[in-house]
Amino acid sequence: MRFSFVTLFPGIVKGYFSESILARAIDEQKIAIDFYNPRDYTKDKFNRVDAPMIGGGAGMLMTPQPLFDTLDEIKKHSQNAHVIFLSPVGKPFRQNDAKRLAKKEHIILVSGRYEGIDERVIETYADELFSIGDFILTGGELASMVLCDAISRNVDGVLGNSDSLSVESFEEALLEAPSFTKPLNYQDNEVISEFLKGNHSKITDLKRGLALCKTKFFRPDLYKKV
């Protein structure tokens, strides 16, 4: 699977994929990452990619020409690429979206900067528009990395143990049950004894009950859906 990041600041993104699980996934060619900088496509003699908003407003807006040409260049070689814009006005990104998008062959993640992107770019190219939360960031790069990480984990072969996907938070709309490791007793705080008895059926039932309790306490909105 291929991810193309469209960003004015590729250096912000590159480091994230240099270590750990995603670095290994790149080395093993489970995923591929590339970068396109709209500044490389601008026709402005001063190399500008932003301009004041028409009608007034604070700050600058990313202009259409560099982004049109950038996306045209990518789509010329990958016509079926799925184009995603990151914006606080987008729909909330969810685990089901990550699983669905993991089946795509090529995803383009467009990161806005300044006060955003000329709407005509979004209207022309966007297949989907996502937000990662009700807050404002200085740019879309962090949100793009969040999506790439979440989607990549659902690509076959990226995780060493694919079974772990089925017990993670937000599967079946539940938060993940509490987990423990050694030592069995740490500072007079013991692991749940039932986890030590080897009865996997009981452990499964107990974990589901704990997941329900955890979801009810921390995310009552999700609990209502169960």
CATH number at residue 210: 1.10.1270.20
Is the per-residue pLDDT at 60 higher than 90? no
Please give the tally of structural domains in the chain.
2
Please state the pTM of the whole predicted model: 0.82
User: What pLDDT band is residue 164 in, cutting at 50, 70 and 90?
Assistant: low
Question: 96 and 67, same structural domain?
Answer: yes
List the domain range (segments joined by +) for residue 180.
169-223
Residue 49 lies in a domain: yes
Question: 178 and 102, same structural domain?
Answer: no
Question: 175 and 94, same structural domain?
Answer: no
Rounded to the nearest integer, the mean pLDDT of the chain is 90
Q: Which residues contact 7 (CB under 8 A, 6 or more apart)?
A: 13, 35, 36, 37, 111, 139, 140, 141, 144
Is the per-residue pLDDT at 174 higher than 60? yes
Question: 140 and 95, same structural domain?
Answer: yes
Residue 95 lies in a domain: yes
Question: 42 and 134, same structural domain?
Answer: yes
User: What pLDDT band is residue 166 in, cutting at 50, 70 and 90?
Assistant: low
Question: 211 and 114, same structural domain?
Answer: no
Is the per-residue pLDDT at 223 higher than 80? yes
